A and B are shown apart, each in its own frame.
Chain A
Amino acid sequence: MRKKKIEYNCEVFKKYLVEYLDEELPSEILIELEKHRLVCRECTRLIRTIRRIIYELRSLAQYELPENVVAKVHAALRIKKWKRR
């Protein structure tokens, strides 16, 4: 039986999106996806948006750890240690 040829459309592109962005795809699949992307404005936009979202997530500012929280947590830890002795 002949193997059914996959049609690389938007649905397939979305299915491989995580691996595509992680650059984990075997070259034969990657080539087909790139061919689709070249002619598909929607998938090109999708990739750009997701990349931008990842960039924004990676550059999110960290919450400051308040001094009083550190003091409180360390005090609680000391009590626990003391109780275990």
Chain B
Amino acid sequence: MKSLIKPKEELKSLPLTESELIKRAKEGNDEAFEMLISRYEKKIYNLAYRFLNNEEDAAEVLQETLIRAYRFLKKFEERSSFYTWLYRIAVNVALRKLKKRAKENKVVSLDEGIPQYEEIPQEIPDESQNPEIIYERKQIQETVQKALAELPEAYRSVVFLRDVEGLSNKEVADILKISVSAVKSRLHRGRLFLREKLKHLIKT
């Protein structure tokens, strides 16, 4: 029988669309699956990190998410984007881990294992060379990270998906399996919570 798996070099040289990669991965082409997930690994890791606030748990969530995606890929009917589907798996894995951790009553410091960040994009070019502004921006970013980590879980997932990731209300509702009005309500409360936490820092 002729193998469906194409030689590595051939697959890499083809400009494959996401749906072509999904099709090949479903047919059992592992390289296509790896190419597919490589687009989202960092995003999933970031999502897990924001949910769990430590590197080790984030790595475990990433691993579990990818294994589940591999196992259930054939059930993915492409009614949503692959990204949304993968996110939903990751959110579920992360939430389960959070619940398990709550049960174990494992106390995790919010500062625990803070990793190296990439360079913060300079979005305000006029101020970018001013050391005071750079210091202030760094302070703000660190405080926002911390405030986000302190948000109650129900709000944190919504605020993260909407305001950090920039997904729509509908996409967030689909991922978390809640109504759009619940997304809006949690987003509202979450933002007000952050406002309280950051009021000393953000002067308007």
Contact = CB atoms under 8 A, between A and B. Distances in A.
Contacts, number: 103
A58 B141 CA distance: 11
A29 interface: no
A77 interface: yes
Contacts of A23: none
Interface residues of A, number: 33
A65 interface: yes
Given A57-B164, A76-B63, A64 B118 contact: yes
Main secondary structure on B side of the interface with A: helix
Interface stretch (B76-84, B103-111, B127-135, B187-195): B187-195
A62 B202 contact: no
Given A53-B144, A56-B140, A80-B67, A63 B49 contact: yes
Interface residues of B, number: 44
Contacts of A73: 41, 59, 62-63, 66
A18 to B, nearest CB: 5
Contacts of A17: 188, 191
A66 B116 CA distance: 9
A50 interface: yes
B163 A65 contact: no
A18 B188 contact: yes
B45 A58 contact: no
A46 B199 CA distance: 10
Contacts of B153: none
A57 B42 CA distance: 17
A81 interface: yes
Contacts of B198: 49, 53
Interface of A: 14, 17-19, 22, 45-46, 48-50, 52-54, 56-66, 69-70, 72-74, 76-77, 80-81
Interface of B: 30, 34, 41-42, 45-46, 49, 55, 58-59, 62-63, 66-67, 70-71, 115-121, 123, 140-141, 144-145, 148, 159, 163-164, 166, 169, 184, 187-188, 191, 194-195, 198-199, 202, 204
12 contacts: A53-B144, A53-B195, A53-B202, A57-B148, A60-B148, A61-B141, A62-B42, A62-B117, A66-B55, A72-B59, A72-B63, A73-B41
